[in-house]
Chain A
């Protein structure tokens, strides 16, 4: 794949804009190179490299919109893409909620590209797998893992003068290590933009140690417990709530952020005052593109929860106009304020509690209260008098992140996470939370 430069995407975008007869036109060009290696049963099962470049043209005649895409960039293909989009727009029904494409935006570049990540090659990936497999074998354990890395470029342009170009990189690593007899299981996850911050050996050792420590788990009665949720466990729960910060749903009465009698709960204190959450495209640890590709609006640093109060909701351009608000780019990251306390310190300050490595298969039970159900997995331990006493069997929980963020005893150090179930980059701390509701036991290891 050819990694198109800013000049090249600008030239292609200008050509497309000149070709269209539509009232407005939006263009997105992106390309990616993604490598991966997957292993299980202490052997590599698949490894691959996927390269793709795509151009998307979206045009509108009045309130009728059409979109087309090609992955060829010669003049004939560019013309074909524009004509296809125009054809679809003519066929499409009028959308009364259609909004015009934005006017010129200020996109202040963010640090999203790291050469060391872009340089990852098959040998690097194989070495990641080798660390996990060799160390697992030495400990009579069985490794199953997945490592994926990618380098991308994205370019956006529209007929109102908007243009943006940026490159970004990222890697994601997950490893599950199980004992040969299946009585113990440990897990680790790492997500970073800069490969120099990734240590495969250290990460693998975390899963290995958890697997060894988790053997012979004892059963504890379900009930309400003080829990220390490691950042990965916290992020899976919180991401569901942040997916529900849509202003329109709240105003229409179908969100946990709806207000009795109408309107939303902006400004209300819904959480413990220790809770501070914001989005910042320029954050040094979880930088994201300075625009929202869907709307082409610039992103801004914005508070989401400030001292426990709802500080901002997501407004689409349509809803913002209707409600007299200003629409900005939807956040690409979620950052929650933490402390310098390590998870070990949180454990040391705990008289009785449960340490949760990971949460699993979380689903919304009741959107009215954001009640979620899910389970613990791959390393759940009982804490007594500041020390991990023994592994315990996994639990199912039924809990709302809203209640959880009201029951915070202590906050730990944030970690970078990305996931299968949300679109954000997250920087989320470990947390000690009281009265966390475990409703049944699971025999799964």
Chain B
């Protein structure tokens, strides 16, 4: 997860309000204007011609227009409404067996041609330092195609007033429920991405994403204690229709402790419950440390999957390209080559998929023009594959790329990023309530909390939002001060049960960070409620001065 941006978001509950910067601010009416596809094609052709004339053996061009709107509220006040835009062109080339990249916001033929020539000059300079030439997995040009996130309500057409009123209503519901303070935000994203390459592809994509986090905080000033509960929505690759809550998209958590959501989200209901649950946390029982069987909801487990499977199976980390920043990986090539590295128990099947509808990572084509697909990463508990881009596919003996290339902006170079990485639902029919029936001493965790994992992804610690005691097959009282620690391989091998397809849903991150200079990516992780036996739980309560 992107570090500084994450901290900004996570600190909202503590009163700090900083917005991530995605571009220059623009007026509301400009959000709906589109860049003409003919104009983008002409720019791309100009860049590719200039690059090949300068000596490039390959060139790809990304013409991007990135629009964002953020609305931030605190209690019953709207604090800020910001529209931003970033538009420009990124040109990547290969010359002399090395990459070169240049970007410009000068969207004129002269501007992009100059950028293309600069990219070639950089490639030629880099070629002198190259230890081995680049090998790109082949991609067949797709001609002129288009792809768009299937949305039914475009956030750009919804009046700001309506959106602000929804957030204020959620804050009011949270305070009515028992929260002393509420903060809610609405992040809305539209990426108009045009990709062209000398392979013969001209791909026009219109991508929509949305996220509506909130933070409910209950305070007992007499006892000098405060506790918070964050919203249980997922960031989604959907339109504003996600916020039109529908009854068929609601389900009850195990024991009916709270309401959870699938394809649409009732922020008012969740905020009301959050206010109530944050207040209840003030008097919840502090956990007894020890070994527990953990039953983890998808709203929680997505983050554990992200950190302990998503990141360690990124091929660039495995190879050492992230050694100075995000780290390397324990899932080394020899483990994969052995074909018997037991990453998890037989029940564990993890798939990578950039096509799942509603997911953050869903696009038609990646940022190298590769058509998106799905593939196995862990099959019956065995590590079977990684996540690769065109220049990495040959390393793992594949003839085509996995389509894992992404750049967070036209101005940044594309590189290997995580696709949606998800745990498959269990084959056995089982609901969360069924799963809990034979748990003698356990904890049910809903929602994601604090998270930390080492630089090779062995040792981790996770918190959560809601913790409930499970005693002799029944959900009991609310607990607090819970965090669990484990080792990735031990944890996934302790997986003894996964609920079926009816319980499968996604969580995700808007700010997954990697690279130097750092870039953020977006990714969803699906799971059904899952049980892990004998996991070490610590008590995190501390007294200070």
Contacts and interface: CB of A to CB of B under 8 A. Distances in A.
Interface of A: 36, 38, 40-48, 50, 54, 56, 67-71, 84-85, 87-88, 91-93, 95-97, 142, 144-146, 148, 174-176, 178, 182, 243-244, 246, 248-249, 252-256, 258-262, 268-271, 360-371, 373-375, 377, 394, 396, 398, 400, 402-403, 406, 420-421, 439-445
Contacts of A439: 485, 538
Interface string B384-424: 00000000000000000000000000010100000000000
B15 A270 contact: no
A79 to B, nearest CB: 13
B82 A364 contact: no
B481 A145 contact: no
A420 B7 CA distance: 10
B214 to A, nearest CB: 15
Contacts of B323: 40, 142, 144, 176, 178
Contacts of B356: none
B147 interface: no
B15 A67 contact: no
Contact of A261 (B7, B224, B320, B544): B224
B221 interface: yes
B225 to A, nearest CB: 7
Contacts of A246: 14-16
Interface string B423-462: 0000000000000000000000000001111111111010
B544 A400 contact: yes
Given A363-B451, A396-B454, A443-B458, A91 B224 contact: no
A421 B3 contact: yes
Given A43-B130, A396-B461, A248 B3 contact: no
B518 interface: yes
Contacts of B160: 91-92
Contacts of A370: 544
B540 A366 contact: yes
Given A92-B81, A253-B180, A444 B454 contact: yes
Contacts of A92: 78, 81, 160
A41 B130 CA distance: 11
Interface in B105-145: 105, 122, 125-126, 129-131
A403 B324 contact: no
Interface stretch (B24-32, B45-53, B150-158, B373-381): B24-32
Contact of A253 (B29, B101, B221, B328): B221
Contacts of B463: 365
A84 B28 CA distance: 9
A40 B451 contact: no
A84 B545 contact: no
B516 A50 contact: no
27 contacts: A41-B321, A44-B126, A47-B125, A68-B25, A68-B26, A84-B25, A87-B27, A87-B29, A145-B324, A146-B324, A243-B11, A249-B15, A253-B219, A254-B14, A260-B222, A365-B463, A366-B481, A377-B454, A377-B455, A398-B538, A400-B544, A420-B3, A421-B3, A443-B454, A443-B458, A444-B327, A444-B454
B450 A373 contact: yes
A443 B487 contact: yes
Contact of B28 (A87, A148, A176, A373): A87
Nearest to B226: A254
B28 A365 contact: no
The 10 closest A-B CB pairs, nearest first, are A444-B456, A442-B459, A144-B323, A444-B454, A260-B224, A253-B219, A369-B542, A144-B324, A69-B24, A249-B15
A87 B83 CA distance: 12
A108 B181 CA distance: 39
A248 B217 CA distance: 14
A178 B328 CA distance: 11
B78 A396 contact: no
Nearest to B160: A91
Given A44-B129, A377-B454, A67 B25 contact: yes
Given A68-B25, A92-B78, A50 B224 contact: no
A43 B459 CA distance: 30
Given A261-B222, A270-B545, A398 B540 contact: yes
A130 to B, nearest CB: 10
A445 B4 contact: no
B26 A361 contact: no
Nearest to B517: A36
Given A258-B221, A270-B545, 14 more contacts: A87-B27, A88-B27, A95-B80, A252-B180, A254-B13, A254-B180, A254-B226, A255-B15, A268-B545, A269-B545, A361-B452, A364-B450, A439-B485, A440-B459
B15 A369 contact: no
Given A443-B458, A444-B330, A369 B543 contact: yes
A156 B320 CA distance: 43
B271 interface: no
A225 B229 CA distance: 34
A403 B11 CA distance: 21
B284 to A, nearest CB: 13
B320 A142 contact: yes
A375 B126 contact: no
Contacts of B542: 366, 369, 371, 400, 403
B4 A421 contact: yes
Contact of A403 (B320, B328, B544): B544
Q: Which of A252, A255, A363 has the most CB of B within 10 A?
A: A363
A58 B83 CA distance: 13
Contacts of A367: 13-14, 226
Q: Which of A45, A70, A402, A444 has the most CB of B within 10 A?
A: A444
Contacts of A248: 15
Contacts of B328: 178, 182
A262 B221 contact: yes
A365 B180 contact: no
Interface in B302-356: 319-325, 327-328, 330
A91 to B, nearest CB: 6
B20 to A, nearest CB: 13
Contact of A69 (B25, B456, B536, B540): B25
A264 to B, nearest CB: 11
Nearest to A358: B455
Interface in B83-100: 83, 99
Nearest to B16: A246
Given A258-B226, A375-B452, A440-B459, A252 B181 contact: yes
A364 B10 contact: yes
Interface in B503-545: 516-518, 536, 538, 540-545
B146 to A, nearest CB: 29
B254 to A, nearest CB: 25
Nearest to A243: B11
Contact of A394 (B11, B122, B454): B454
B495 interface: no
A225 B235 CA distance: 41
A81 B199 CA distance: 40
B164 interface: yes
A375 B99 CA distance: 35
A38 B487 CA distance: 31
B325 A146 contact: yes
A44 B411 CA distance: 20
Given A93-B81, A254-B14, A369-B544, A444 B226 contact: no
Contacts of B27: 68, 84, 87-88
Given A88-B81, A443-B458, A368 B126 contact: no
Nearest to B542: A369
Contacts of A182: 328
B445 to A, nearest CB: 14
Contacts of A260: 221-224
Contacts of A271: 545
A176 B323 CA distance: 7
Nearest to A207: B324
A50 B29 CA distance: 30
A402 B544 contact: yes
